[in-house]
Structure 1
Amino acid sequence: MKYLAGYPASLQEQVSQLIAQDKLSALLGQRYPGGTHDIQSDRALYDYVGGLKNEFMRKAEPLAKVMFDNKLHVIHNALGTHTTVSRVQGGKLKAKREIRVASLFKEVPLDLLRMIVVHELAHMKEREHDKAFYALCTYMEPDYHRHELDLRLYLTHLDSGGRQLWAPSSRGDLSPPESNGH
């Protein structure tokens, strides 16, 4: 259970039991019954992230690029990254901020996308995962810690061979996952 390594053994045991009983997907489906969101393009993600940044971090440096990244989870072992790219322009050093979000987040509920976006935005102000960092995360998203745990549960579900829960249906609308645990 690599995604739950930092959590108490009692929680890990509960999750193991849910997986063994094939009930983890039903639990996640109950917590997020609305299906996935409609932020599917890099432009839509840029607008969404920009809206959150403007709401909570007006004075932070502007973002040069925001995009979904297909290789992020595999190559960097991360679900999102924040980078500062420095370039020399004329006689000055210019820095541009970028946020990349794993493409996995195209097919999750909006609350989980918001959690990872809030996490990456918080890194614009706080570099380390410390008390100030998590205070900023919970300021931008009061349920940050619950959504982070739920995301870790979902990743554990996928890692244990579970199917994707919130994929758009073939009709083009968004369907919630089945609630029978299958």
Structure 2
Amino acid sequence: MQDLIYLRHYPDTLQQQVRQLLAEDQLGNTLQRRYPNQSHSVQTDKALYEFTQELKRQWLRSSEPVSKVIFDPKIHIINNALGTHTQISRVQGGKLKSKNEIRVAALLKQLPLPLLQMVVVHELAHLREKDHNKAFYKLCQHMQPDYHQLELDLRLYLTLFEQRGESSV
């Protein structure tokens, strides 16, 4: 029985369904039907910054500003991370200034837009909630009602890539 590392915390029944789809070589087709439009126009750091700022304007107007948003080819799926958020504090003159940065795995350029949006929403939610707690996930769902389904679908894509031995993961 294969270890589904991206689905470890999901129920056994779901893991069995995924194993069955993999055995029948149907997981890719299932995801293709769910996301027929695989490509999107958010392919540059500038486009990602604008995409992120629009989501922030829509949902988190009063939150701290985000100074930098980039696709980072160095982010690998280590510890299930597809994005990072950092708050960098610097002393300038007599003042302490902080900047928020979001980095998103370059792999998300290849995946459907709703999955990229889910990762951006996740990182934006960290502007208000630093920890992965109940309030954090409630905020994610407020910004993207199908957040949990998209997170599962992203994990299914990662499982498919791993099964195929694709180097993009």
Measured in 1, the distance between the counterparts of 2:52 and 2:115 equals 13
Measured in 2, the distance between the counterparts of 1:91 and 1:128 equals 30
Which residue of the other structure, out of 90, 109, 114, is the alignment partner of 2:93?
90
Which residue of the other structure, out of 21, 43, 54, is the alignment partner of 2:46?
43
Which residue of the other structure, out of 64, 72, 89, is the alignment partner of 2:75?
72
Alignment of 1:131 onto 2:134: yes
Aligned residues: 164
Structure 2: gaps of 5 or more residues: none
Q: Is the 8 Å Cα contact of residues 125 and 136 (structure 2) preserved in structure 1?
A: yes
Measured in 2, the distance between the counterparts of 1:127 and 1:63 equals 15
Letter in 1 for 2:163: S
Alignment of 1:56 onto 2:59: yes
Q: 1:3 to 1:74 in 2, by over 3 A?
A: closer
Instruction: Give how far 1:92 is off.
Output: 1.1
Q: More relative contact order in 1 or in 2 (CA 8 Å, sep 6+)?
A: 1
Secondary structure of the corresponding residue to residue 127 of structure 2 = helix
Alignment of 1:120 onto 2:123: yes
TM-score, structure 2 normalization? 0.93
Runs of 4+, deviation exceeding 6 Å: none
CA-atom RMSD in angstroms? 1.5
TM-score, structure 1 normalization? 0.87
Instruction: Give how far 1:76 is off.
Output: 6.9
Aligned to 1:27: 30
Letter in 1 for 2:136: F
Q: Is the 8 Å Cα contact of residues 6 and 80 (structure 2) preserved in structure 1?
A: no
Instruction: Give how far 1:7 is off.
Output: 0.3
Structure 1: gaps of 5 or more residues: 165-182
CA shift digits 1:99-154 (9 cap, x unpaired): 00000111111100100000000011111111111110011101111110000000
